[in-house]
Structure formats: structure tokens, C-alpha cells
Structure 1
Amino acid sequence: MAIYELYSTRNKAKYPEVYQYTEVSDKLRTQVAQILVAAIGTRSNCGYQTPSDEAYAVIFNVLKREYGESSLGGCYMGSASWLEKYLVDHTPTEEFIDVLELSCRLIDKHVRQNWANFTCNDNVSQKPDDALEELNERMKRAGFGYEYTDGVIVRIDEQYIHAEVVKPALLILQDFKGAQEEFLSAHEHYRHGNFEECITDCCKSFESLMKSICHERGWIDDREHDQLPAAKLIQKCIENELVPLYMQNQFASFRQLLESGVPTIRNKSGGHGAGKEVRNIPQGLVSYTLHLTATNIVFLGKCYHETK
């Protein structure tokens, strides 16, 4: 359903000035639970298992297995009432996001594909697109800095950058599945504070995009696809005029940033092999790298489409 602008909300700022990522308000928990149940549905008075029964069972069983628990929130099976109670009463923030992501993915894929069955048997009152849009809007208004996009919950650091850079990058990467998975993996690592892995996946995503473009255009063969480093791929893009010549230094600098942004010390100790100690990487550097990766993906993607 559409968000109704009450008198009490019309006279306030719609969005907070900054996002936070650690606390989920009681109000947002309740709103999220209501939207998810409206989109998945609740069973009618019938003597057989309905699509919503199966959907709640999937969410419940995945979480139960991954958490290594025999019950969740005092329940031994999934249902609409379990989901509402679990979201509102029991979950720490990270588990709340787990439930939210699983539920959104199920709505986005399964409910959408089986819409007729859900509407016939389960009193569904909110369409998938409407529900997902409202969930994202509710989180923004609550100042909870996450958003569901392309099957995953991603962290939003700055709304303008997210809307103008990250989202277009994800759109471009829909045609390049390997690079898309690595870019989404970078977001996932960033969300969990795995900063070294985030920067590594940024590098992989950018390289994968260049490899895919160069291979599709016939600029590299299968052997080169597996072996060429980023510097050589950049050169291929420039030589074949995918990227204007004056951008060569900028792209080389980008690669240098990614490599130098993984500050590790490898301690080698004789016959005991190599050890590895990871330094603390500043979050600001990682956020900058993530957004810079998105910016370069958008640029390269536009060059690709404009030279088709």
C-alpha cells in the first residue's frame, strides 16, 4: 500500500540527515513485519498447505539450519505469526537483516513468479514491487541505512552516491554476471566490516568487467582472458578506443589504488611457511574504493554501450 502522509509527518523532514546501521527501531520492526506478511500472505481456512505456508517454512528452515538451532523465537515451525513475532521481539540487528533479506528475495522471486497461487489461497494484499519499494522507503525514513536491491540487502552510505552511482553500476552489471556477483560480494563484505575482502572484490569486479568486454569484442582470446592482469586489460580497452586516450592515467591510478588499499604484512618464518597479519583498514578508504569502483563501472559500461 502507498505510504499515507499523516499530518504529524508532513511537517517534519522526510529523511534524517545521517543513516545509522546498528539499531532497528520498534516502529520499523513492526512496519517491516506488516509489509512482509501482506506480501507473502496468510493461509485461508483450508485443510491443505498453501503457498504462504511453504514460504514461511523455507525462511524458517534456512535460518534454523544456518544458525544451528532447533527452534527460533520459541517456535519449531515457520508461519506468519512466527515471522511477525520474531522480527519484532527477538532478533538482534544482524539477524533482523538476515530475515529481511531472505523474505525480500522470496517475495521478489517466488511470490512474483507464483502470483496467481498466492492471491488465490493466501489473502495477499500487497504486490511484490509495491512491497519492496515500501520496505526500502520505510528504512530510509527510519534512518536505517540499508536497501534491498538485486537480491541482497546493501548498505547505503550516502543517498546521492547510492542513487547516482551504485544503482546505475548494478544496472550495467546485469549483463556481466561474474562482475555483478563480485561487486555485490564487495557490498556484502563492507556490510559485515570485512574491509580487506571488500577491496579485493572491488578489484575483481572491475577486472571481470574488462575481461568480459574485451573477450566479447575479440580483443583477447581464452588464454588471455584467464591470464591478463588489469593493467594489460586497461591497455586493450585504450588501444581499441573503448576508453579515450586521455583517460589512460585515470584508469591506471584506479588500479594502483585498489592494490595499495590492501595493507597486509606477510611474515615469512623459515620452514613454518608464511603467516599473514591484516592491518586495520580505515572505513573511509573502503567506502571511497567501493564508490570509485562503481563510478568506473558506470563509465566503462557507458563506453561499452556507446561503441556497440
Structure 2
Amino acid sequence: MAVSNLFSKRQKVLRGEVPDVYQYDTLSLKLRNQIIFIIQGALGKKTTEYNMGITTTSFTGRIYENIRNTLIREYGETSLAGEANAMIDIFTRLKREPDIELCLDIVEIAFGIIDSVMREVFPNSKQRLGLTQSPDDAITELNQRLKADGVGYEFVSGEIIRIDSQFIHSEVVKPALVLLQGDPCFEGTKSEFFSAHSHYRHGKYKETLVDCLKSFESCMKAICEKHKWEFKPGDTAKKLIETCLVKNLIPVYMQEQFTQLRCLLESGVPTIRNKEGGHGQGTEVKEVPQRLASYVLHLTAANIVFLAECEKGLP
């Protein structure tokens, strides 16, 4: 369903009353209600069926039960909000929950099902199930609503991820996600990059650095393996970079221009991770600041995009 550009919205824009900086701590009640409307449009509202005098749980009802069962099992709870009906239980918890991360758990699981299961169901069953939104439409509206409310998260490739800069996110992180999603040889890289993103979203910045390096190294190993270039499983990032350059992953005629890039690749992600995230702390507990984790995450994404694009140009 298209997001309507209402009169009140236009006036807020004219007065400069729109968020220009993302926040990560709260979801307004308005946004929570909007998310519920989207989920109901894409999953349906009819949770029971009546046939031959017997009331049974509908397909939509079973989906909501699956979402609730997943959440209560992980949380170690017996109910989300004390409601018998799974759909009502989920939405009541979503409206009341003060912790944004737990709210996003609900959103991520629901939209993960919309993005996978409902893609197969929607074309032939939308009328029977009372669906009013396609999966693509639902995901697009969710991301638009989050952005309009100044909430720095987005649903991409099956996961809720944190956005720090809209430009960097759209120009660096999203292309990396698309590249990793589309090529089976980058399966390990994708898993580690998503893990880094998950750690970052949950404020685990040391773990973010560790998984960034794993993802960066896995990307180069995947390229080496795909082209049967000799490398050892235990090769460090520096050694893998040397192999990729020797094998003309970057064309020979361009290597002079990329001298600084090589320095960046050698001294960027690996060095930061080695100094801040990968070794013993001694007697002093080291804290990795959010700004450093953000920089490394985006630097990793940029490196992955560059290397993967270069790989596409190999004979």
C-alpha cells in the first residue's frame, strides 16, 4: 500500500519538523500501529476458519502461532502479553514493549515470514486469506515508515539492520548485501557479515570487529577458491591481499593507481581488528567505541563490494 503524502505531512516538511538524524532507542505508538497494519495486510487477520460446524485455526492463525512460539521459546516465557489469540498476543506485546530490540525481534520474524513463505502463498491465495499487501509492498512500506519516523533500522535480505548514514548505507552496505546474497561462493562471507551487523545492532562492538575481519578474509578466500588460486586456510588478511593482487584481481594497468588502496586494504580492517578486537586485554578492559565499530563495518562493506566487483571482471 502506497504511503500517502497527507496535508499534515507536507506542512511538517515545510516547517522543518521532520527527523534528519536517526535514533535507535524508541518506536512511537504511531509507528507500532503502522507496523501492525502492514503485518496484517501481508499475513492476514483471519486466524480461525469455520467449516461444517467446526472451528479450526486458519493458515494465517498458524503463522501467528509460529511467530509467538518462536519468541516465547527464546525469551523463556509462556506468553507474550497474556492473550489467548496468538495474533492479539503478538500485537499487544509489540504495542506495550519498552525495549526497542525486543520490538524489532517481532518485526524481524514477522517480515522474515512475509519475505519467504508469503512470496509463494500471495499470488494464488491473496483473496482466500484476505491479503491486501504483497511481500515487496509490505517491506517497502515498513522501511519507508521507519525512515519517516527517524528510526535508524531497515529490513534488508531477511534481517533488521542498523543504518548510521543513509548515503553510506545505500551506497556501501546495501550493495555488499546484494552481492553476498546473490553468489553461493560468498555464503560464508554473507553469514559473517550479517553476524557483524547483528553484533553491531546489539552494541557488541568487539564482536563486530572480529566478524568484520572474518567476513573480509572469507571474501578473499572465496575468490581464491573460485579461481583455484593457491592459499592456505590459515592465511592472514595481509597474505590474502597479496595473493589477490599478484593474481591481478586488480588489473595490472590499474595497480599503480591503486597503491593507496592496497595500503588501505592492508592497514584498514585487519589492523583495526588486531589492535582493538582480536587479542588479549591484559589487566585493562578495552572498550571499542561505537564510532570505531561503525567505521570498520562500513569499511568492510566497501572492501567487499570492491573485491567482488573486480572478481566479476576476471576472465
Could you tell me how far apart the structure 2 residues matched to 1:45 and 1:76 are? 16
> What is the DSSP-based 3-state SS (H/G/I as helix, E as strand, rest coil) of the residue aligned with 2:154?
strand
Could you tell me how far apart the structure 2 residues matched to 1:262 and 1:78 are? 42
Q: For 2:171, which of 164, 170, 193 is the aligned residue?
A: 164
Matched-pair contact (CA < 8 Å) for 1:265–1:278: no
Matched-pair contact (CA < 8 Å) for 2:112–2:159: yes
Matched-pair contact (CA < 8 Å) for 1:170–1:180: yes
Structure 2 counterpart of 1:306: 313
Q: How does 1:182-193 map to 2 (within 5 A)?
A: 182-193=192-203
1:18 aligned onto 2:21: yes
- Deviations along 1:117-164, one digit per CA (max 9) or x if unpaired, are 642432111111000100010000001110000111000011010000
Structure 2 counterpart of 1:270: none
Aligned pair count reads 296
Q: How does 1:84-99 map to 2 (within 5 A)?
A: 84-90=91-97, 92-99=99-106
Structure 1 counterpart of 2:114: 107
Question: Quick one: percent identity of the two aligned structures?
Answer: 41
Q: For 2:76, which of 68, 84, 90 is the aligned residue?
A: 68
Q: How does 1:196-235 map to 2 (within 5 A)?
A: 196-220=206-230, 224=232, 226-235=233-242
Structure 2 residue runs of 5 or longer lacking an equivalent are: none
Q: Structure 1: which 4+ aligned runs deviate by more than 6 Å?
A: none
Could you tell me how far apart the structure 2 residues matched to 1:277 and 1:62 are? 39
Could you tell me how far apart the structure 1 residues matched to 2:18 and 2:299 are? 25
Matched-pair contact (CA < 8 Å) for 2:25–2:100: yes
1:83 aligned onto 2:90: yes
TM-score by length of 1: 0.90
Matched-pair contact (CA < 8 Å) for 1:169–1:298: yes
- Deviations along 1:215-260, one digit per CA (max 9) or x if unpaired, are 1111126xx2x22221111111000110253233222112223322
**Shift, 1:77, TM fit:** 4.8
TM-score by length of 2: 0.89
Matched-pair contact (CA < 8 Å) for 1:265–1:277: no
